[in-house]
Structure 1
Amino acid sequence: MPLDRNSLFEAFGRIGRYHLFDLIHYITALNNDCAKIISYDKDFDNLEIRREEP
């Protein structure tokens, strides 16, 4: 999925609680209506999109 300018700015707006690269993945998933994030990274557990391990 492409990273657009709006997603990047939204990620920067949430920085501080999460790592930037995690936020970029999360915001991109949100903006593309993804139902879940496939990852071993437990930092995604406290976000609105459900995390699932591969």
Structure 2
Amino acid sequence: MKLLDLLAKLGILRFGARSGTYTSAKDRPVEFMMDDIYDAERDLTTRKDVKDLTGR
């Protein structure tokens, strides 16, 4: 994990933009529903990130 990715996961550094179209709330990306989330894959912590850190 790069330094910028780690800072984004910790909520220290956030940057970027997202644009898109959707037809219903079901199709709406996380970036449009949450404040301060610009790239959900980079900004949000998932189980995969924890597994990568612990090695399990």
Q: TM (normalized to structure 1)? A: 0.26
Q: TM (normalized to structure 2)? A: 0.25
- Greater share of strand residues, 1 or 2? 1
Greater relative contact order: 1 or 2 (C-alpha under 8 angstroms, separation 6 or more)? Answer: 2
